[in-house]
């Protein structure tokens, strides 16, 4: 069974990781800022995400980071954190800090009209490794975790995600 792309609400759950990094002690589902200094040389663990294909600079851009675990992938309130930022038409960069080196998956969502709801006809989305997102009756169906997972090291890992729109 595949999951719909989430726009879920924020929630805080305990994350019992100690000492890996300042991020390791944060709760799941928290909102963080896009701090590009965390992707500078010598920093990490973090992922510098090059986002392309943004149709406009309107609305909101959400970047959710998941541990590469089936029990977390696209589940409500199971993302590590969410970066909320303003999109830039065309391309932009986002720095995603990580609690530790390991396997992750990232989802980028452009809420084009800024209403924080799922508007499949106008919003855009993309995922790590840029897998094909199939639809059923016009509703996007998320790909399996295996198609989106990637490994991040102790430094700064670079990935590219292309945002795609239905219309």
Residue 126 lies inside a defined structural domain of this protein: yes
Length of the chain measured in residues: 167
| pLDDT tens digits, 13-58 | 222 333 344 454 456 889 999 999 999 999 999 999 999 999 999 9
Give the count of domains, the chain: 1
What's the rounded mean pLDDT across residues 84-103? 97
Domain range holding 152? 22-165
pTM value is 0.82
pLDDT at 73 > cutoff 90: yes
Residue 67 lies inside a defined structural domain of this protein: yes
pLDDT at 6 > cutoff 90: no
Residue 13 lies inside a defined structural domain of this protein: no
What's the rounded mean pLDDT across residues 149-160? 98
DSSP state of 25: G
Burial class (CB in 10 A: 0-12, 13-18, 19+), 143: buried
Residue 16 lies inside a defined structural domain of this protein: no
Q: Which of 150, 111, 113 is nearest to 130 (CA)?
A: 150
How would you classify residue 151: left for phi > 0, otherwise alpha for psi between -120 and 50, otherwise beta? beta
Q: Which of 70, 33, 45, 60 is nearest to 119 (CA)?
A: 60
Residue 39 lies inside a defined structural domain of this protein: yes
Residue 147 lies inside a defined structural domain of this protein: yes
């Amino acid at each position: 069974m595949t999951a719909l792309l989430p726009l879920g609400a924020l929630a805080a759950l305990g994350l019992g990781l100690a000492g890996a990094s300042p991020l390791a002690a944060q709760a799941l589902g928290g909102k963080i800022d896009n701090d590009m200094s965390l992707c500078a040389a010598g920093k990490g663990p973090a992922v510098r995400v090059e986002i392309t294909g943004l149709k406009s600079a309107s609305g909101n851009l959400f970047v959710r980071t998941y541990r590469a675990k089936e029990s977390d992938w696209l589940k409500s309130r199971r993302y590590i954190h969410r970066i909320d930022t303003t999109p830039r038409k065309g391309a932009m960069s986002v720095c995603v800090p990580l609690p530790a080196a390991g396997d992750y998956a990232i989802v980028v969502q452009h809420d084009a009209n800024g209403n924080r709801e799922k508007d499949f006809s106008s919003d855009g989305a993309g995922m790590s490794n840029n897998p094909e997102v199939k639809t059923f009756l016009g509703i996007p169906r998320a790909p399996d975790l295996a198609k989106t997972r990637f490994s991040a090291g102790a430094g700064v890992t670079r990935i590219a995600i292309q945002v795609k729109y239905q219309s």
